[in-house]
Amino acid sequence: MNRIRVSIAAAAAIAISLITATATAADDAPTIRFGTPTWPGVTVKTEVAAQLIETMGYGIKQTNSSPAFAYNALKSDDLDVFFGGWMPTQKNMADPLIEEGSVKVMATNISDAIMGIAVPEYVHEAGVETEADLDEFRDRFNGKIYGIEAGSGFNESISNAISNDRHGLGDWEMVPSSTSGMLSQVGRSIDREEWIVFLGWEPHWMNVAYDIHYLGAVGGREIADTRSDVLTVANPRLVEKEPEIARFLEQYVVSKDDQSEWVLEYSYNDRKSEDVAAEWIGANMDTVAKWLDGVKTRNGEAAIDAVRAAYAD
């Protein structure tokens, strides 16, 4: 089968009601402003953090943000936290701001993530093993590489490869889209066993739902680096004003398996990010306790105790 159908064992819905602490309800509670790209993994990762921070007594605001917008908004004090600092793809955007102290790296929230040019496994089996093989089959691909949101570092990597005529790709076209739009195109192509080349990454549900192959490079780096780290980047003003938030951000490190689970539930199984986050928090208090080790709420309570009370069955 070219597409692997994923099923989740039927289970009773878990009703979770957040208990609002007195400090949370206070009119003067600081609002933590998150920049959230339309990437499923970062969407749920941000929601998990937002729910935990809200339980600590803070207000929450999430804004849809491309990476470029997020970095500039952190610098201009219009955002506080961005969990989508994919490196080294965003290096040119992030490094100058990090070096001048306009943004602060708090943690590597995902290590050794995979991002690269991918094809369905049947395309790989037909002879496309590396990036250098793509142009030989240009007509089968219609000369197109499918990307994600315009302005993303991922798309920039592809555009640079085309501009530099890497492996004869100079007459190819990079097709920007949304993440969901690109994956819909991938799904349709795989259903029809059509040829397609696109941006793939892990953690993500695509690696479970589709049988895909990441193309290696010949003679140097891949078009898109295949091993990456994802950074938590923050507004330095937030770090200075809210040390408890800063401590949490430093300890908020997510496993690839957990994030893939979040993406599977949110994007593949089409559940609300709020529900996915709340259910996961309630079922994974040991992990949450590590993230909140030594962290206190605004009223001085141990944050993990407030979370346990809020997410008690």
Mean pLDDT of 264-277: 94
Q: What is the CATH number of domain 22-111+228-310?
A: 3.40.190.10
- What does the pLDDT average to over 117-143? 96
Contacts of residue 170, Cβ cutoff 8 Å, sequence gap at least 6: 162, 163, 164
22-111+228-310 matches 113-214 in fold: yes
Reported as half-sphere exposure (CB side, CA atoms, 13 A), residue 268 has a value of 22
Taking the CB of residue 162, how many other CB atoms lie within 10 A of it? Answer: 16
CA–CA gap between residue 276 and residue 33 (Å, rounded)? 21
The string of pLDDT tens digits covering residues 189-214 is: 999 999 999 999 888 889 888 999 99
Domain 113-214 listed as CATH 3.40.190.100: yes
Which residues sit opposite 212 in a β-bridge? 120
Distant-in-sequence, close-in-space partners of 230: CB < 8 Å, separation ≥ 6? 42, 83, 84, 85, 86, 87, 108, 109, 110, 113
25-83: per-residue pLDDT in tens? 446 899 999 999 988 899 999 999 999 999 999 999 999 999 999 999 999 999 999 99
pLDDT of residue 10: 28
- Give domain limits for the chain: 22-111+228-310, 113-214
Are 197 and 134 within 8 A, CB to CB?
yes
Give pLDDT tens digits for 214-229. Answer: 997 665 567 765 678 9
CB-based contact 185:198 (threshold 8 Å): yes
Which pTM was predicted?
Answer: 0.71
